[in-house]
Amino acid sequence: MMAETEKQIAAWNNFVQAKTKAESSLDFADGKAAALAWREFCRLFVDLPLPVVDPKGAAPASD
């Protein structure tokens, strides 16, 4: 089992790699991958709620 610090470093390295690729390519998919890698890194420190997704793809209702 990986130690907590090792998990954090691995998540950080995944984010840095994805962000570097996105900055180089300027491709939307690469940017999205970097955003997801950032979210995974942040989850190690903060309990972030998952977004609510409508299975039909409808936009969430505004209040």
Dist CA 38 CA 31 (whole Å):
10
**Is the per-residue pLDDT at 13 higher than 80?**
yes
Dist CA 48 CA 28 (whole Å):
23
The answer to which of 9-13, 22-26, 56-60 has the lowest mean pLDDT is 56-60
Dist CA 23 CA 28 (whole Å):
10
Q: What does the pLDDT read at residue 41?
A: 94
What are the domain boundaries of the chain? 4-43
Q: What does the pLDDT read at residue 3?
A: 83
Residues 21 and 30 sit within 8 Å (Cβ to Cβ): yes
Dist CA 46 CA 38 (whole Å):
12
- The set of residues, in sequence order, having a beta carbon less than 8 Å from that of 2 and lying 6+ positions away, is 10
Banded model confidence at residue 28, pLDDT cuts 50, 70, 90: very high
